[in-house]
Amino acid sequence: MPDVVSSPGRRDFLRALALTPLLSPALAFANPQPDRVIALEWRPVELLMALGITPLAVADIPNYRRWVVEPPLPDSVLDVGLRNEPNRELIQRLNPSLLLLSEGFGPSVGSLRTLAPSWISRFSDGQHAPLTLLHRDVLALGDQLGRAPQAQQHLEAMEAQFVTLGRTVTGFRQRPLLLFSFLDSRRMMVFGRNSLLADVLARMGLQSGWQGATNYWGSMIVGIETLAQVRDVHAIGLLQEDAASTQQVLNSDLWRSIPFVREGRLHFMPAVWFFGGGFSAQRFARLLSATLEQA
């Protein structure tokens, strides 16, 4: 077989493809009705609402309201089941003009091909930071749905907010910030390179405290004992609702021995959706600024 992957023309084509959201073939000939769009993953919900469009339906609304929070979904938005296994029959009855998916999580385009054209957002591609890909996706979806001015306005407002909030946390630029979230009494998720949260830190003039390996989503699950090796950082814990598990960790001798705990450089803030879009990024920046201002 000829080496087509390494040929210059092929490389240029693949590079261009990596910068383009994935579309089903039907979209080349369709003009989706904005009021009949269904989002089967939460990042695309944010992308759509950044354009001023309310989705017809969304997958797993209860957990969206628990984790994503902003932007709030009106009660008129229908629930089409789980994000990884949506209700195909209900989707078919709703007759959407477009399905919004995410690469890396949820159903594949092929499994939904007969229901409606699909548009796929990409949180990560191994080459570009999440906020860079967010810009690309918002602009591309805005073009697709005839909302290019709204897309540009959303992105400009987001970037301006990062700059404004960055000025409130200049006192924390000397030490990196370690971002983590408890999973249970023994493990936590840390966020570093290629995460949305670390990318927002950089926009605010701050440094990420996790320099270890990360996965596709820019996170890594580690044992609590791993944090004993992380020194000279401020730590930011993003807390969800499992207070019992969290309290068990905070009362342990191992936790109290960790340098940033022992030295009083630990702060807590409400959790945000770690894998979201522009609204999640802005909510994280606002909550982080408020937390550090009170530290």
Q: What is the pLDDT of residues 148-185, one digit of tens each?
A: 999 999 999 999 999 999 999 999 999 999 999 999 88
How far is it, in rounded angstroms, from Cα 293 to Cα 143? 39
pLDDT reported for residue 31: 77
Torsions phi, psi for 181 (to 5 deg): -140, 130
Torsion of CA 281, 287, 288, 292, to 10 degrees: 170
- Helix ranges (H only) for the chain are 8-18, 42-50, 61-67, 88-94, 130-144, 148-166, 196-203, 243-250, 253-257, 259-262, 278-293
Give the rounded distance of the alpha carbon of 187 from its chain centre.
21
Q: In the block, which residue shows the tokens 């240029």?
A: 12
Residue 12 pLDDT grade (very low, low, confident, very high; cuts 50, 70, 90): very low
Average pLDDT over residues 38-54: 98
How far is it, in rounded angstroms, from Cα 49 to Cα 53? 5
pLDDT reported for residue 192: 97
Query: How long, in residues, is the chain?
Result: 295
Residue 141 pLDDT grade (very low, low, confident, very high; cuts 50, 70, 90): very high
pLDDT digits (tens, 9 = 90+) for 63-107: 999 999 999 999 999 999 999 999 999 999 999 999 999 998 878
Residue 11, pLDDT > 50, answer: no
To which H or E segment does residue 223 belong? strand 219-223
Torsions phi, psi for 223 (to 5 deg): -75, 150
Q: DSSP states of 82-121 as a string?
A: -SSSB-HHHHHHH--SEEEEETTBS--TGGGTTT--EEEE
pLDDT reported for residue 243: 64
Q: What domains can be seen in the chain, in order of their start residue?
A: 8-121 (3.40.50.1980), 169-293 (3.40.50.1980)
Percent of the chain with pLDDT over 70: 89
pLDDT reported for residue 30: 60
Choice among 119-123, 139-143, 238-242 with the minimum mean pLDDT: 238-242
How far is it, in rounded angstroms, from Cα 89 to Cα 59? 14
